[in-house]
């Protein structure tokens, strides 16, 4: 690899592990606020957090499309894609495919057709991180980021809701997410967990 190729790869890995993660975190909170019964369930059972993140990635993937170049002529749905042509794989649409997901336009952390355990691997049912050999190399790091931050914030934000007058807007084409997410909440009065030696 040339120095230019190495530099481009490093930039791509850093971008893949940061920008989609912050968008996914914001979208996670949006969807849980929009579905208060599921928010309550995640608060009650932190083990559901991974499922909530996986469903957020399926429902509103932060990366909406992936460009690919055809190595040879290929036919899709009766249309020939010539060798060398650039094809844009629309992840957002694929993740709402009714042939792949039941009620695809419904946000449901309990859906049985997602497979939470494999949602951050190359065998994921959704395409938020790509698939197979072309899975995003930042997927595991992004999962660690999102789970760590969400697990820290959720217990601290009681009665979390949108700020008065807030209007939700999204922006972006290649990557897509909220312009902002203005929230109001009551700081949790729960005591911080004690350490193993009894100190707070």
Looking up tokens 């120095």 gives: 3
- Reported as a single tens digit per residue, the pLDDT across 156-199 is 999 999 999 999 999 988 888 999 999 999 998 764 444 444 44
- Reported as a single tens digit per residue, the pLDDT across 101-154 is 999 999 999 998 887 777 766 667 777 776 666 667 667 777 888 899 999 999
Among residues 13, 100, 15, 12, which one has the least CA distance to residue 58? 100
CA distance 57 to 25: 10
pLDDT on residue 7 = 87
Mean of per-residue pLDDT scores for the chain: 85
What ranges in 77-176 are assigned the alpha helix state H?
Answer: 91-94, 139-153
Question: Which structural domains are found in the chain, ordered by start?
Answer: 3-62+93-187 (1.10.630.10)
**97 neighbors 69 (Cβ within 8 angstroms):** no
- Reported as a single tens digit per residue, the pLDDT across 41-61 is 999 999 999 999 999 999 999
The percent of the chain in helix, strand and coil, each rounded to the nearest 5, is 40, 20, 40
- Reported as a single tens digit per residue, the pLDDT across 58-95 is 999 988 888 888 999 999 889 999 999 998 889 889 99
Lowest-confidence pick of 13-17, 21-25, 142-146, 167-171: 13-17
């Amino acid at each position: 690899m040339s120095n230019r190729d190495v530099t481009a790869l490093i930039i791509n890995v850093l971008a893949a592990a940061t920008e989609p993660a912050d968008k996914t975190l914001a979208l996670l909170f949006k969807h849980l606020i929009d579905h208060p019964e599921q928010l309550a369930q995640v608060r009650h059972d932190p083990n559901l957090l991974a499922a909530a993140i996986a469903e957020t990635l399926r429902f509103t993937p932060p990366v909406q499309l992936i460009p690919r170049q055809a190595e040879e002529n290929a036919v899709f749905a009766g249309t020939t894609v010539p060798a060398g042509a650039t094809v844009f794989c629309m992840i957002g649409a694929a993740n709402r495919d009714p042939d792949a997901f039941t009620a695809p336009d419904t946000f449901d952390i309990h859906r049985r057709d997602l497979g939470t355990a494999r949602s951050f691997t190359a065998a994921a049912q959704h395409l938020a991180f790509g698939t197979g050999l072309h899975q995003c190399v930042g997927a595991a790091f992004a999962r660690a980021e999102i789970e760590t931050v969400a697990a820290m914030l959720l217990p601290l934000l009681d009665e979390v809701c949108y700020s008065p007058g807030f209007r939700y807007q999204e922006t972006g084409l290649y990557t897509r997410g909220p312009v902002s997410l203005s929230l109001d909440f009551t700081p949790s009065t729960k005591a911080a967990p004690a350490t193993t030696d009894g100190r707070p």
